[in-house]
Structure 1
Amino acid sequence: MTTAVLEYPEGRLSLSRPGGDPSLRAWDAADELLLEEVFRRVDAGTEPKVLVVDDQFGALALGLHRYQPDFLADSATLLEALAHNARMNPGVSAKATVMSWLEPPETSYDAVVLRIPRHADYLAWLLRWVNGVLKDDGLLFAGGMIKHLPDRSVEVFAQAVETEIVCPARKKARVVVCRRGAAGLDPWPGTWKGYGPDDLGFTVAALPAVFARERLDIGTRLLLPHVKATVSGLVSNARVLDLACGNGVVGLSALAVRPEMAVTFTDVSSQAVLSARRNVSAAFPDSPASFEHADGIAGSAGLFDLILLNPPFHEGGVVGDHVALRLFAQAAKHLSPGGRLLMVGNRHLGYHRSLRRFFPQVRQLDASPKFVVLEAGLQ
């Protein structure tokens, strides 16, 4: 993996990405500018209460270590990245815990440091949530790479918070400094959006950080008939995993066929886990389903008879198959004898070739101009 040195007002940090594409840097210009603005405007001598939201690989968390900030992230990847990069910088002391939306903080903060997400709905939700935890005289520092800022971001900020300073763009990054606004999450209508029942037989809804929360994506639509056919042939005590579950629609389709079956839902996004849990509770309240917030399959998860997967092909602003390859490797280690991986993926990514690196048996079940459904097994 590539290690790069981030120079910031307090010194230098050696940072790298654990896993993923080894050629990619673990920080960007938005991290640099956010650190500069926080050190310029927040006096550490006053012992301010600081919260870092959706840091990527620990650059903000470690860079702001003198403030001893709290960390909150939707993604489960931050915990490993933070621990990894803390070990690379032994002189830096940072808290070892990362909160998620499963149990967000209820503390009031003098400063909130936020990476601007790519999606406008999630940004709008975040800003309203920040209004609920930011002190009256507190500051919000929000930054991101300009090419990744969501559409209508200026409008989204104007509707939620009081923008105090729009810092000059540098190195293709932008930081804005804001004051608390009046807008809150209650009764904002954008928190939950969904679809169904129609041909699903149940309704799903999801929080703003969740993939395809307003409509069934066409890849999943191609996969669902094969899920139903495969699940109907499983024994009653089979274990099923909805890996990268999103709103849980794939695992819910399995439960629609066999509601007594033990289905585990797992996702790197805590908002996805919350959404799947809500949807299962509404559609199948007696289900023995379980839910995990994890980057892939937890090592203690055990073996599964069927793993269902629609792998993400992007991580932040990076597009590729590196996430899918990591999930394929984990799936191969967590299949029971005779178990199968059933997945849908973008045709152009050539997953049939990638799967053969981990599974001796791979066959195509279905295809459309953009997607392909594949089944893989160890024997």
Structure 2
Amino acid sequence: MVLNRPGSRGLQAWDAADELLIEAALDRLQPGQRVAVVDDGFGALTLALNEATPTTISDSASLAAALADNARANGLEVSAPLNWGQPPLGPFDAIVMRIPRQIDYLEYLLRWANEALVPGGLLIAGGMIKHIPDHGVGVFNRLVNTDQVLPARKKARVVVCSAGQAGLAGWERQWLGYNLPDIGLELRALPAVFARDHLDIGARMLVPQVRDLVRNLPEGGRVLDLACGNGVQGITALAERPDLKVVFSDVSSQAVASAKANVQAAFPEADTCFEHTDGISPNAGEFDLILLNPPFHEGGVVGDHIALRLFRQASQHLKRSGCLLVVGNRHLGYHKSLRRDFPRVSQLASDPKFVVFEAGY
């Protein structure tokens, strides 16, 4: 099977956990069973199990393009992946799942699986051992019945489980949040969202800069909260200027759902749009202001590659009179990276760990 990883820099598009999951699934699946694949990386699981016509569900919007490209390369037809904006209800005879890094998101998936599996159905879950979250074994023991722990291989582990009793209904930790300082709004988020129960340091540094900049935007100006998370920066802009047109965009479907819920609770009449997409949509148009607190990790890969791609896209969607406002870790040297795409870069704020830059033309 041909499998490529978009923008890979030579990185492999599958790992040992994918291999073990595929083997375990092919050994156990029966013809005619309804199968779900959850959080496939780049299509390895979906394509290997193609004969079962699986329903693929992914929090990440990046899977859609990778899956379509890899399906084409292998002469296969697949449906576009679903996401958690509208969680599929099943029922499924088997769920093949990559174990996520976040412990709360793992609990979300296991609780969802308990509701989505038919009686006697199988959950086949696996991941690289170093990426399985701390206390992950305890979450499995608490929520599902672990029927078999397969031998570890190439530093990967797969477990085969049957459903437990606990579902998503009534789970108190499904939504967590905090109050936004100086604005008094409560922001909540679903489990896959970064810093969902506190305002992270980088976002905290960006907020006052957002408030200052939006005061000078034209009436009805367009703002993009890129990699929006729970929507904190876009909501800060709306709190200062309710007349603005704000687009909230994130690669995570749970982030987009969280931002939408927060905006509808605080500014139900605002002119807003919500996009589950990897980066900026080609037809997004131009913006007066783009707000960005870029992630610096993708799965097991850590670095500035995501930020560099977002900087480049931002330069293509920024009005000549507009600006990009970005916060990042000091050691990443974003001031040098930004100058590749923007002739004007200035530092607005800093502390020993983070720096806020304004970039434009």
1:204 corresponding residue in structure 2:
187
Seq. identity, %: 59
- SS, match of residue 291 in structure 2: strand
Are residue 340 (structure 1) and residue 301 (structure 2) matched? no
State the shift of 1:197 in Å: 4.2
Q: C-alpha offsets along residues 189-231 of structure 1, whole Å, 9 cap, x if unaligned?
A: 1100000044332110000000100100001111111100000
Amino acid of the structure 2 residue aligned with 1:333: Q
- SS, match of residue 330 in structure 1: helix
Equivalent-residue separation in structure 2 for 1:244 and 1:211 (angstroms) = 10
Q: Of residues 126, 136, 140 in structure 1, which corresponds to 2:119?
A: 136
Equivalent-residue separation in structure 2 for 1:192 and 1:184 (angstroms) = 14
Contact 2:244 2:271 in 1 (8 A): yes
Contact 1:49 1:67 in 2 (8 A): yes
- Equivalent residues in 2 for 1:208-219, closer than 5 Å: 208-219=191-202
State the shift of 1:87 in Å: 2.0
1:81 corresponding residue in structure 2:
66
- SS, match of residue 271 in structure 2: coil
Amino acid of the structure 2 residue aligned with 1:71: T
Q: C-alpha offsets along residues 55-90 of structure 1, whole Å, 9 cap, x if unaligned?
A: 010000111111110110000000001011112212
Equivalent-residue separation in structure 1 for 2:114 and 2:104 (angstroms) = 16
Equivalent-residue separation in structure 2 for 1:328 and 1:174 (angstroms) = 37
Are residue 357 (structure 1) and residue 340 (structure 2) matched? yes
Amino acid of the structure 1 residue aligned with 2:146: T
Contact 2:92 2:118 in 1 (8 A): yes
2:94 corresponding residue in structure 1:
111
2:12 corresponding residue in structure 1:
25
Equivalent-residue separation in structure 1 for 2:77 and 2:184 (angstroms) = 47
Equivalent-residue separation in structure 1 for 2:182 and 2:108 (angstroms) = 30
Equivalent-residue separation in structure 2 for 1:198 and 1:297 (angstroms) = 28
State the shift of 1:324 in Å: 0.5
Equivalent-residue separation in structure 2 for 1:14 and 1:248 (angstroms) = 38
State the shift of 1:159 in Å: 1.4
State the shift of 1:43 in Å: 2.1
Q: C-alpha offsets along residues 239-265 of structure 1, whole Å, 9 cap, x if unaligned?
A: 000000000001110011001211100
Report the CA distance shift for 1:198/1:355 in structure 2 as closer, same or farther (over 3 A).
Answer: closer
Q: C-alpha offsets along residues 88-130 of structure 1, whole Å, 9 cap, x if unaligned?
A: 212xx24231101112222211110000000110000110001
Amino acid of the structure 2 residue aligned with 1:41: R
TM-score (norm 2): 0.98
- SS, match of residue 107 in structure 2: helix
Are residue 36 (structure 1) and residue 23 (structure 2) matched? yes
State the shift of 1:284 in Å: 1.1
Q: C-alpha offsets along residues 308-338 of structure 1, whole Å, 9 cap, x if unaligned?
A: 0000000011100110011011100101121
Equivalent-residue separation in structure 1 for 2:15 and 2:126 (angstroms) = 11
Q: Of residues 297, 301, 307 in structure 1, which corresponds to 2:280?
A: 297
Q: Of residues 145, 148, 151 in structure 1, which corresponds to 2:131?
A: 148
Contact 1:62 1:94 in 2 (8 A): no
- Equivalent residues in 2 for 1:305-316, closer than 5 Å: 305-316=288-299
TM-score (norm 1): 0.94
Structure 2 runs not aligned, ≥5 long:
none
Are residue 95 (structure 1) and residue 75 (structure 2) matched? no
State the shift of 1:364 in Å: 0.8
Equivalent-residue separation in structure 2 for 1:53 and 1:219 (angstroms) = 30
Amino acid of the structure 2 residue aligned with 1:325: L
Q: C-alpha offsets along residues 19-63 of structure 1, whole Å, 9 cap, x if unaligned?
A: 2x422110000000000001111123xx11000000010000111
1:120 corresponding residue in structure 2:
103
Contact 2:180 2:199 in 1 (8 A): no
Contact 1:70 1:95 in 2 (8 A): no
Q: C-alpha offsets along residues 150-199 of structure 1, whole Å, 9 cap, x if unaligned?
A: 01111101111111001111100000000011011111111000000443
Structure 1 runs not aligned, ≥5 long:
1-12
- SS, match of residue 172 in structure 2: coil
- SS, match of residue 71 in structure 2: helix
- Equivalent residues in 2 for 1:162-311, closer than 5 Å: 162-311=145-294
Q: Of residues 52, 77, 99 in structure 1, which corresponds to 2:37?
A: 52
Q: C-alpha offsets along residues 125-147 of structure 1, whole Å, 9 cap, x if unaligned?
A: 11000111101011000000000
1:71 corresponding residue in structure 2:
56
Amino acid of the structure 2 residue aligned with 1:39: L
Amino acid of the structure 1 residue aligned with 2:290: I
Amino acid of the structure 1 residue aligned with 2:49: L
Equivalent-residue separation in structure 1 for 2:61 and 2:151 (angstroms) = 32
Equivalent-residue separation in structure 2 for 1:95 and 1:222 (angstroms) = 43
Of 265-274 and 156-165, deviating more is: 156-165
2:300 corresponding residue in structure 1:
317
- SS, match of residue 327 in structure 2: strand
